[in-house]
Amino acid sequence: MSAPVIEAVKARTLVSPAFFTRLSRRVAKTAGLDQARAEAITDQALAYLATSAQKPPAGPTLYMSADVDPAWHEFMTFTAEYDAFFQRPGWHKVHHNPCDGWGGATYPAPQEAIPPTTDAIRAAGFEVVPELWTTRVDCGDTCGDDGVPGDPLPCGDHG
């Protein structure tokens, strides 16, 4: 007997269809993207945030792809919806702590940072769009998710 196959879901299902449309349109406008790409990166940002919000204390640090990051930034501007997103049992709010480049933080090479992140997103049950999770990590400005409530957030980490 084989293990049951669990189909990955799109993270966009974590918010209402109307809000997803509104958010992705804003991402398209702000980032200068076509609507299809804006929807893809918005979905991946939601998957990253949901995965980070549920990350166990011993889980790996998760890093944001520079391609997906604009959707996270745009989502945070919808403060009520952003707060409501994390009001699920067992989730904690993923805070944003931007790095200005002067914090002295060092990050792993992008090819080391992205695979554990996409593995964690898949393990959480979400679809991963590989072309949006390349080795291009936005470590010069922001990246990383500590994902553990109560830990201090070094420059660039989110938790």
Cα separation values, 59 from 20, 56, 62, 119, Å: 28, 5, 9, 11
pLDDT per residue of the chain (159 residues) written in tens, 0 to 9: 566 656 889 999 999 999 999 999 999 999 999 999 999 999 999 999 999 999 888 888 888 888 999 999 999 999 999 999 999 999 999 987 665 555 555 566 778 888 999 999 999 999 999 999 986 655 544 444 545 544 444 444 444
Q: What is the pLDDT of residue 1?
A: 58
Q: What is the pLDDT of residue 98?
A: 63
Q: What is the pLDDT of residue 58?
A: 82
Q: What is the pLDDT of residue 22?
A: 98
Q: What is the pLDDT of residue 100?
A: 54
Residue count of the chain: 159
As a whole number of Å, the end-to-end CA separation of the chain is 40
pTM of the shown model: 0.83
Q: What is the pLDDT of residue 136?
A: 60
How far is the C-alpha of 103 from the C-alpha of 99, rounded, in Å? 7
Q: Output phi, psi for 154, to 5 deg.
A: -65, 165
DSSP calls for the chain? -PPPP---B-GGGGS-HHHHHHHHHHHHHHHT--HHHHHHHHHHHHHHHHHHHT--TTSPPB--BTTTHHHHHHHHTSHHHHHHHT-STT----------S-S------HHHHHHHHHHHHHHTTB---GGGSSS-B-TTT---B---TTS---TT---
